Amino acid sequence: EIVSEMNYVLQNEYDLNTWFDGERLKGDIDGQISRGIDASSKVVIFLTKFYNERINENDGVEKVYCKSELRFAINRKKENIILVVLDKYMTKPRNWSGLLGLHLGDLLYVDMSTPEKRAKNMNVLVENILAPV
């Protein structure tokens, strides 16, 4: 998965301390999500068409957690959210539906929609993460 690979690069090549929900969610998921976001200075949200669809559906526990995590991040850290687009469809903010379009449609994003753009823009992402809060 691209997000796992990017998290690995951020930790190992840029020596950043990250909280990645794909690694840590077991047991008290709501508590882990809220503590992880509260303890973070920045929140990086990776946007894909699949993620956009997932947070706008109401069935299934995993979808509910995705939506809750996004809402909590928006409520607690909106000014420190960094959006990273991982597929071409999501490079057009008009395609961001529901919560994404409503709450984050006015934010700029880092385009990492192709392997070439991921290589080219990784430093942009890191600069955004390291920028003062």
At residue 28, does pLDDT exceed 60? yes
The pLDDT value recorded for residue 105 is 94
Spatial distance between the Cα atoms of 103 and 56, rounded to a whole number of angstroms: 13
Taking the model in full, what pTM does it have?
0.90
In the predicted model, what is the mean pLDDT of residues 19-43?
79
Contact criterion met (CB below 8 Å) for 120 and 8: no
73-123 pLDDT, tens per residue? 999 999 999 999 999 999 999 999 999 999 999 999 999 999 999 999 999
At residue 61, does pLDDT exceed 70? no
Helix segments in the chain, DSSP class H: 2-12, 21-24, 29-38, 49-55, 61-77, 98-99, 115-130
In the predicted model, what is the mean pLDDT of residues 124-132?
97
